[in-house]
A and B are shown apart, each in its own frame.
Chain A
């Protein structure tokens, strides 16, 4: 067989030349003792791989599981709880047992299913959950104590003594839990996310899905056909049916070739539709490179697709259900359909001599197909007394398998014959068929419940599934190939007709059309040992009985109590059996008992795929200011504020501690002049004839009468009266204001203002736009700030104290004609300006200011120095606006105008917000100058007990003030405005902090405001 990789990552499967006996071809030699002839593998090419360090060979087209079986390796894993030896149960994604670690080094991946891992040359696989080796596993001791380790063991056992949990039980359980191991190295591969749109999404590329795709594709609809397998064809790959005059896989190849040629059809193999979400959105994982040793250059390992579709057709087929019997978990015991898949598709048998245990005709087909491949079938054991003779081998009608033997792999099965006598049958593998369950999973992702179909004794998709989703083929309970083709085509045509598109059904070739004859048979009642239902989580028939006995009878309780269906396979082969046994115990019917809720994802998804490109520094966007590069060149240490990177301080040569840098920056600003990048502050442009009136609504204080050319501090409240944000707003002209917000709140404030504009005052003539990124803005602060600015502000603009007083604003030009905005506002308490220029000039302006400022020993200062100076000046910031603080607490109670309506004004008047002992913002200084004021510490009246009942407030901001040579802080103290000079205790019981601090005016520096007006 050859594989053709197409540009879209999908592939065409072309049948291999059949009739070649693989054993005779070069390379594979005697090693593949269980390799048969035929199959959809390429026996001409040999691939080498290793499992647990031992080298084996397989062929292109193999999975790891089929290649191991070919090499007579049946033992592939150990179970989760009892460490029982296990082999494959299935041939696909439903696999509970054969979980392995794939690859080595950073690409090592635990818990991958050997049944879906495509073989490539050099593949390294390891078994897991065993020590020291798969054959000799110390933890298998658990199996000896299984009488104690039943359902609910942990709940019952690790209750007391209480102190033992954290120190003893949990570490032991943690060590024992889990399956594979991680490499603890960074994943070197890339993962992508993508978006697709279509008219019809077809989930599954078996006979029904292919018939649907042909129908919709020929009608010109935009179609996505997705299948988790690397080959389209579904069950046709594992069967020997003819379709019309073609053998099944030839029909598949022809259909796939036709679909590939249609530009309106996207065929996605290796793509699992993992979830059905609201309004026709589906998630899909495409395994782009998992079948290769490493992803090709520029290709991701996997893609997480988000598919928007108008209609969906679920053609996901059915999963065979096992029958539980004593010791039904030995390596070699598998689903009858898997045994058939391995023989027909992969030309492999798990053993030279096999048997089949079934309750329906389908199981007999396994015997027929294996006999045709030259495998000896010891017997077909059928639970029905009237079982038909279909295969040319011994038939044991009315018989049941009651036990098995073989420590690391099946040796023989013990059969209770119809006459009540027992007989041992020697075989190395047993195919088990208990009928089929339609794969309803996706149809129930939005809580729709599947409905019971008595004719097939199974659940089928219900009518309350995701809107726009219908099912066809085996997924809908139409099990025969003929029914799959017919319903696939018909449902596709119906879906398109629903969309107003014309489609005609395809010509239906003659093919297999067996009537389903499923009668329920869930478990063998003979035998006292353990009969396994959920092989991955080691749940037995007994555990279900115990759950029933202990009154965990709802299926959801059964699931949690026993862990049935909670493993990585999500109980695809086990849930049905468990709930059927519960139904029997309670005397309710199966539909009355119901299924557990199906949830996405359908099959496990690597964490890297969820993350996509959003990892490491790409976890969120990084915003850099226009002068970021200058800051990097000048020794800035950055801090993340929102998504912005802001310079925290600038380290000069010789400075070894951040405090040295910050203290220097603070002193320089207070003594001469400094420049701080304040571009990140939110800027909102407010324009319109009602702009002033609008600002009156969003700010608690009055703005309507603000003069043109002036700036005002504004306090914004939430409707409940709590402070939301603050900033300054400048009136550039009658109908044009420019607002600033704090960096962190810029987005929320803008959203809030649009809410006020659109939802509360829709007829106001006002427009808002965020201009945060349009302007680069720099604070120039310090006694020499005016002198520095005068060197670059164009001479026609008077910025003297008389011409441009405190809180003035003006549109000006700098550096010979560059348009700019100048605001005389101060956060530091010094004479200060903020100068804004169009973003692209930010870097040039920063360099120019630093060059021109040399004569004043200008410094650049970062957010730390900014913070120190605003604490020294007693300005509230984010630490103070903590979501519980109102205007009164901030000492701005009188700013909330009662003459007008603003957001939060009415609720500010509530009694509880105006109590006499309300918190007031005050300053703190340690009594002992060696002590520190610590943010987060709580305040207690001196001598009072230290507990919550006596809490007097807390400290929100603290720093070392190089101007006062002392630690200082800001915080909130009950009735603080009237407690100046009081000594209170600053405590933190968590850190044993307890120091005396004095309550002081929060304006430590220049309380009269002389300096800002200089």
Chain B
């Protein structure tokens, strides 16, 4: 037992000067006063260094745990946010692409639905605004020359929420799509929440799924709609409800590369057809594909025909370009340009054999269409009529 005079008080301890002249830290007890003389015991003495270390540790621990908690909470909320797609936009050109966007019009996920789409790297689009995201996607497609031959874009849009007002969001999407694909014909379909899941289970894009639901054709065609060319689909659904079509505003930019490629295709016309068939066969692994590949070749034509008939506004333009262009530049640019684009297409996917195969195959497949249009037109029309009848 010691007698001590309290010299100083702090929160957790007091400094006492005992009657031997030793200064000691003692535990704080209530009703202490500076100058008070008290009795204290060995148990009351606080080990100075230990308490200091302890408090220091304590501070770090508290701070660390709070920081960790914040980190946890925020990451948790972030992932929660990311998971919630607000709108789904599917683009079918040839690669089928599905974009998921959140309520702030930011792209949260972009994925390819078919094989061509899966071979494109969309990782850098994630996090962009939906309009710039679509723009970037188009740039990628142009880079890979998918848009050289495909002038039809099938757009499927659906919102995951049904009770909120999405009209302004939808307008933004429409504007973004129209602004981006201003050189292509756009077919726009609105789908609903339920159909997102259904399309996913079937493994086809939303636009294709919706188109499949809307059209009234035989079961066979329906089953193949997941692989059918876009032109065929757009032609089938153009008059349906919920479908909006915008024609290309300026096709010259778009058509120019097409004409460049044409001669090449022309030369190899029979082999490419075979290629297209075999490729589509390998893609689907189903023998049924032949009718499908036949159908696209006639459908684009019928589409063009109908467009000229239905859309009185710009038929001349369409037709002119389609018919006139091939002839004029073909002669000039046949050989020099002919080899270059093919080389380029091959160069795109040297690292991966399948990529190379697919891209070229899809291209050739699509390239055949405009090619076919010109010389085979009447023939195919008749075929078309036959099949329809």
Bound pair: A and B? no
